[in-house]
Structure 1
Amino acid sequence: MMKMRIITLSFFVFLIGIGLAGFQTDYQHFFPGKEWKDDRGVHINAHGGGFLIHEDTYYWFGEHKIAGKEGNKAHVGVRVYSSKDLYNWKNEGIALEVHEDPNSLLVQGCVIERPKVIYNEKTRKFVMWFHHELKGQGYDAALTGVAVSDQVTGPYTYIKSVNPHAGIWPTNYPDSLKSWPVDLDRYERPSEEWKEAVVNGIFLRRDFEKGQMARDMTLFVDDDGKAYHFHSSENNQTLHVAELTDDYTDFSGKYTRVLPGLQNEAPAIFKKEEKYYMFSSGLTGWKPNPGKSAVADHPLGPWTPLGNPTRGTDEEMKTTFWSQSTAVIPVMGKEDAFIFVGDRWTPENPIDGKYIFLPVEFENSKPIIHWQDQWDLSFFDQNENTDE
């Protein structure tokens, strides 16, 4: 009887120890599209994610979702996780919190999407930008918001949300088009005339005075410290690439139109051997579509389309493995090793959304992705990531 009591007591102490220490994960591989638990044993809740490497640690920022259709709105805020190895992630809490104050633009029930964080070496501040829609207004506002923090995991202090570049023309927009009328009613969508009007900037001119639309977005910091804000604009028909100010908290006023009229969303940027590469998607709402890729010699462009980066079956290529691009992670300690990150959206119950991590390969100087049921970072040692 005494022996049984000792065993029972030891087991009870063991359970308490687990509760105090938290759920311990020991992933040694990626399992794309599968449930992925954090250090607390909960599926990672960081959708539309952005990734920052700081002091030899990876940080994953993303939209915190809740169950049900209302989960696509921001009821909690932006969550952040940390990792040393990219497989196992520690829940670091809420980096940016939404408020109950109805006078705040960052009120519960607004929309916060695709949060991205970059670090400013000069100011020693962490700067977060995100796509922001106002509560009760659907996707009409098309704002981008900014917040800052002294600590990588936050809390982040919200500064403002804006429609960028009010009264400012893109540097690559011809003077000859600036005075053209905004006569949207004359075009039948999607006629060839309408498409031509879009390419010529009819939505750009429409929004010139109030500021441009800024929806799906990402950030990129170049080797010289210059930071750029990529966002889907002009009714999602054209991307804008905007230079940020030296402190990364505002727009410098210098920006370009990129791939006009080609309907790119979900941009994800990385740099390899002095070339800049972009993954993006088409426009099909929450439904997956064929991925896109492009290349440039400078973040501001011009950008050249490279086609669908997905390699696989027809269904896989039509859906980008049932995902949408959100980020590209450079792998620490490995030269020219990059990971494509995509979301598998589940709009009926957003909290169930899964993530796709896949190695980026190159084929004829084009970035491509193949499906992997299971893989690890040794992939980059076995495959030197050179063109085949």
Structure 2
Amino acid sequence: MTTLLSTLYFVSSAQKIKPRREIGNKKRYKSIVPGQEWLDTDGKPIQAHGFSVFYKDGTYYWYGENKEKTVKGSNVWTWGIRCYTSKDFYNWKDRGLIIQPDTLDALSPLNPSQGIDRPHIIYNAKTKKFVCWIKLLGTDGQFMTVLTANNFMGPYKIANKAIRPNGLEAGDFDLYVDEKTGKGYFWHERPHYELICAELTDDYTSVNGKYSVHYSGLIPPDTREAPTHFVANGKHYLYTSGTTGYSPNKSRISTFDDYHGAYKDLGNPHPADSTYSSYCSQITEVIKIPGKKNLYVALADRWMPEWCGTDKPKQEVEKIRQRFLGHKPNPINYAKVTLIDRTGEKREDWDARSKANYVWLPIVWEKGVPNIYWKNEWKLEEYK
């Protein structure tokens, strides 16, 4: 049975939201409405999933997986990396693909049939290069491809075709450059087992061999993935989700002072979510809004919007728990990294995510804990 709370925060069709101001056949947004379809300035659904957002010189940049062609029956996992820009955080202009798909080489990591996920781009002040890491889903596990460019908008060239950092399988991940030291850090899930924090080489295109282990010895759905790192008020924070595929689950938040030291778990950052599904979403980025005193926004994908307001997320989490019940945590090592011709594969309903949307919510600081509460609609202007 759907609770009253879930009916409110899953934006049902009966929910009364102020109408958008129309400009011709397009929509002009003046607020954030989490979970609703979000159109770009051309009136098309925004396609930037597993994404990141950053701000520079008066402009927000939002980039992620382009899923417009990832439909049932296709062999497309991701059709390149798409970027959008905005001046107001509400209305986003499509700037096209900053990383193009390679449709000619079936063994290219950028071929649309390969499992391209979660692009993250950082800037290297020493090499003056933009460095993009992308997760790949292979038949023999998960690994990374690294690309570089002279400009953020590209063109990007492959610098490291297919690697397993420190010889470990690498799943969902995040990147960060320490503002004081310039050193790069890379958090990644070691699938179905633990979370790794690794140091990058000076050029950020690989790892230097030093890493630490966190949230170790877990099994799905409790294994941590989708690490999302941010710094606020001088402290480091890390949101993570459980391991349940596209099904939403309960998030965790931890804090730390030393990258390779102890991570203190602060619990579930969605304390009012009675469905334990992180408001039917998965956090992928946190951004501090410039010009605001202490406004941080947690940005999330809603991969399965059709499940919101139902018991399906809870059922899927329990199904995975039962599947792994009695299993012992077991790290898997793969001796090789291979790219294979996957152009004959077809997307099924569960992995055709072209209609996935987004949940963006402001962070509420409660005794130093960055918690997140549902809002049907909100504006930056409401915050000092």
Range of TM-score over shorter length: 0.7 to 0.9
1:376 and 2:379 correspond:
yes
- Correspondent of 1:343 among 277, 298, 301: 301
Q: Which amino acid aligns with 1:324?
A: Q
Residue type of the alignment partner of 2:31? H
In 2: Cα distance, 1:72 partner to 1:360 partner: 38
1:290 and 1:212 mapped to 2: Cα distance? 26
1:329 Cα deviation after fit: 1.2
TM-score by length of 2: 0.76
Matches within 5 A, 1:123-202: 123-134=127-138, 137=139, 140-159=140-159, 160-165=161-166
1:78 aligns with 2:81: yes
Among 225, 228, 249, the residue aligned to 2:205: 249
Shift of 1:228: 0.9
Change (3 A) 1:154 1:37: same
Whether the 8 Å contact between 2:109 and 2:145 is mirrored in structure 1 is no
Q: Could you say which residue in structure 1 is the equivalent of 2:49? A: 47
Match of 1:319 in 2: 277
Partners of 2:250 and 2:74 lie apart in 1 by 26
Query: Deviation of residue 290 (structure 1)?
Result: 0.8
Instruction: Indicate the residue corresponding to 1:227 in structure 2.
Output: 184
Instruction: Give unmatched runs, 5+ long, in structure 1.
Output: 1-20, 166-210, 382-388
Aligned-CA RMSD value: 2.1
CA-CA distance at 1:311 after TM superposition: 2.9
Return the offset for 1:70.
5.6
Aligned residues: 309
Gaps of 5+ in 2: 1-22, 305-349
Q: In percent, how many aligned pairs have the same letter?
A: 37
**Whole-Å Cα distance in 1 between the matches of residues 165 and 273 of structure 2?**
40
Q: Is the 8 A contact 1:23 1:39 kept in 2?
A: no
Q: Distance in 1 between matches of 2:83 and 2:274?
A: 35
Once the two structures are TM-superposed, the CA of residue 163 in structure 1 deviates from its matched residue by 0.3
Q: CA deviation at 1:302?
A: 1.9
Q: Deviations over 1:358-385 (max 9, x none)?
A: 001111211100001100113431xxxx
- Which residue matches 1:111? 115
Cα distance change of structure 1 residues 221 and 25 upon mapping to structure 2, 3 Å threshold: farther
Residue 74 of structure 1 contacts residue 98 of structure 1 at CA under 8 Å; is this kept in 2?
no
| Contact map agreement 1:73 1:112 (CA 8 A) in 2 | no
Question: Which structure has the highest helix share of the two?
Answer: 1
Q: Does the 8 Å contact 2:75/2:112 carry over to 1?
A: no
Q: Report SS of the residue matched to 1:232.
A: strand
Give the letter for the 1:302 counterpart: A
In the alignment, the residues of structure 2 paired with residue 71 and residue 304 of structure 1 have an alpha-carbon distance, to the nearest angstrom, of 43
Q: Please tell me whether Structure 1 or Structure 2 has the larger radius of gyration of its CA atoms.
A: 1
Task: Provide the residue aligned with 2:261 in structure 1.
Answer: 301
Q: 1:298 to 1:372 in 2, by over 3 A?
A: same
Distance in 2 separating the partners of 1:46 and 1:103: 24
Higher relative contact order (CA 8 A, sep 6+): 2
Mapping 1:2-41, distance limit 5 Å: 25-41=27-43
2:106 is equivalent to residue 102 of structure 1: yes
Larger mean CA deviation between 63-72 and 120-129 belongs to 63-72
- 1:313 offset after TM fit, Å? 4.1
Deviation at 1:144, TM superposition (A): 1.4
